[in-house]
Amino acid sequence: MGIVVQKFGGSSVADAAGVKRVAQRIINTRREGHDVVVVVSAMGDTTDELIDLANEVTPLPPPRELDMLLTAGERISMAVLAMAIQSLGHEARSFTGSQAGVITDAEHGRAKIIDVSPGRITAALAEGAIAIVAGFQGVSQTTKDITTLGRGGSDTTAVALAVALDAEVCEIYSDVDGIFTADPRIEPRARKVPRISYEECLEMAAQGAKILHLRCVEYARRYDMPIHVRSSFSEKEGTWVVPADQVRVDDTEKDTAMEEAIITGVAHDRSQAKITVVGVPDKVGEAASIFRAIADAQINIDMIVQNVSAAATGLTDISFTLPRGEGQTAMSALSKLQGSVGYERLQYDDSVGKVSIVGAGMSSAPGISARFFEALSDAGVNIEMISTSEIRVSVIVTETQVVDAVNAAHATFNLGSDEVEAVVYGGTGR
Ligand code: ASP
Ligand code: MG
């Protein structure tokens, strides 16, 4: 039997009891004959608490020291988990990201993994031990400083290690039973998706579904590493994230598969804001100057809409969405352009939400947008902006209507199950 990589999130190891429960689970996998490599996140809300602490000390913590501080969270979990496993009579050894050979670039707070050389992990496995690795962290190839991979980065550690170790599967354990057709917290009839393609999973994650770290799915797709997303609180089979051609291979529910094939899920995101530049002169180069200013402020934008200009005035409006946290930076960058661009005014709206339907089947099924928009209209939801990809349709709506929009989309594409399937076992949702 081969290597299994298991990643446990913060809510699975929130306290001593959780750590012991997870330890038992890891041992069960070991007893089945697998070599087990475990990646852990910080216990409970530790990372948030450490960030709060840093901000109490200084409003702008130096990135190098902040990374050093945050990686302590995962070190605590890896050590106590190794102790718990040893107390149950099994060999276990903990390793920091750096000891596990996770090599990154030098971008503190959002480092990218550039290489994994897990020599000490393979050595520990060869000696019969279970290897426990601190997630979310690595060491910079150039500066040799400790780095972190960005919030939620332990998923990416797990997939990267699974690839480097040529594991059979990367299991990601959290406090829900898998990936659902919508967030069970706002859609009680959400259903577990048995299999989902990397592409659909990427779209869901990018559109705000808090399932997996975006980069972990990109990494898995690049190397064809199957991910099994499941709960550490139950024994249920979770969701398999796999190549598109493996999604419907052994589908036993073929008769109901028609509808499922079109829309896989509904994602929502409340973390965005909308800026409208009102009264932009409709001439060459204006959009270029506006978005250059945003780019130079290092802000990632999402949707853009430019209206046709009114013939009478020759003026147009340009709206775009961006992460809420960057709203003020963007507004001040744009206000500096008023003289050169000559727009009339700026509008800022942070009470918006994005609702997206995702499904590989829509690229070959006409009428999906129409159905989605009709459902929104029947629910009295006004659409402010629209964007699409080959396998996604997203709309911006007012924040108070996000739940209505999700429920309407979920119902119109028959995604709901008859009984309540989703159980949220833990976590504070922080
Ligand atoms: N502990 C880190 C965080 O909360 C990394 C992770 O959980 O994956 O973002
Ligand atoms: Mg966490």
Query: What rounded mean pLDDT belongs to the chain?
Result: 93
Is the pLDDT at 420 greater than 80? The verdict is no
Residue whose C-alpha is closest to residue 76's, from 137, 161, 3: 137
Give the ligand at the shortest distance from the Cα of 11.
2
Residue where the block lists tokens 């190397």: 223
User: Tens digits of per-residue pLDDT, 196-214?
Assistant: 999 999 999 989 888 898 9
The number of beta carbons lying within 10 Å of the beta carbon of residue 229 is 25
Q: Which two tokens stand for residue 65?
A: 């020291």
Express each pLDDT in 42-68 by its tens digit: 999 999 999 999 999 999 999 999 999
- The number of residues making up the chain comes to 430
The pLDDT of residue 427 is 57
Decide yes or no: CATH 3.40.1160.10 for domain 3-245: yes
The per-residue pLDDT for range 317-328, each reduced to its tens digit, is 999 999 999 999
For 267, the 3-state DSSP assignment is strand
Cα distances (angstroms) measured from residue 187 to each of 267, 268, 415? 11, 11, 10
From 247, 206, 205, select the one nearest 226 (Cα to Cα).
247
Q: Does 327 sit in the ligand 1 pocket, CB within 6 Å?
A: no
pLDDT at 250 over 80: no
Given a contact cutoff of 8 angstroms between Cβ atoms, the answer to whether 64 and 87 are in contact is: no
Question: CA 226, 200, 367: angle at the middle one, nearest 5?
Answer: 150
Band (422; pLDDT cuts 50, 70, 90): low
Ligand 2 mean position to 59 CA, how many Å? 22
313 pLDDT band (50/70/90 cuts)? confident
Q: Which pLDDT tens digit goes with each residue over 353-396?
A: 999 999 998 988 889 999 999 999 999 999 999 999 999 999 99
Pocket flag, ligand 1, residue 8 (CB < 6 Å): no
What are the distances in angstroms from CA 403 to CA 151, 183, 315, 352, 384? 25, 10, 35, 12, 16
pLDDT at 424: 67
| Mean pLDDT of the region 298-316 | 88
Beta-carbon contacts of residue 185 (< 8 Å; ≥ 6 apart): 424, 429
* pLDDT single digits (tens) 253-262: 554 444 446 8
- Identify the sign of the CA torsion 430, 53, 9, 166: positive
Q: What does each C-alpha distance from 94 to 164, 188, 238, 332, 429 come to in angstroms?
A: 18, 39, 27, 47, 27
Query: CB-based burial of residue 112 (10 Å sphere; 0-12 exposed, 13-18 middle, 19+ buried)?
Result: middle
Q: Ramachandran region of residue 70, left (φ > 0), alpha (ψ -120 to 50) or beta? A: alpha
Confidence (pLDDT) at 216: 95
SS3 of 100-148: CCEEECCCCCCCCEEEECCHHHHHHHHCCCEEEEECCEEEECCCCCEEE
pLDDT in tens, 262-304: 899 999 999 999 999 999 998 899 999 999 999 999 899 999 9
CB 80 within 8 A of CB 127: no
Is 97's C-beta closer than 6 angstroms to any atom of ligand 1?
Answer: no
* 360 alpha carbon – ligand 1 mean position (Å): 30
Q: Give the rounded percent of residues in the chain with a pLDDT score beyond 70.
A: 94
135 lines ligand 1 (CB under 6 A): yes
Confidence grade of residue 418 (pLDDT, cut at 50, 70, 90) = confident
What is the reported pLDDT for 248?
A: 72
> How much distance in Å is there from the Cα of 151 to the middle of ligand 1?
5
- pLDDT mean over 95-108: 98
Q: Are the CB atoms for 105 and 166 separated by under 8 Å? A: no
Buried b / exposed e along 50-86 (16+ C-beta atoms within 10 A): bbeebeeeeeebebbebbbbbbebbbbbbebbbbbbe
Nearest CA to ligand 1 atom 6: 152
Verify whether ligand 1 is closer than 6 Å to residue 137 (CB atom): no
For the chain, domain boundaries: 3-245
> Which ligand is nearest to the Cα of residue 151, counting in written order?
1
Amino acid identity, residue 367?
G
- State the pLDDT at residue 259: 44
Q: What is the pLDDT of residues 27-39, one digit of tens each?
A: 999 999 999 999 9
Residues contacting 386, CB < 8 A, separation 6+: 303, 305, 369, 393, 394, 395, 396
Give the whole-angstrom CA distance, residue 371 versus residue 368: 5
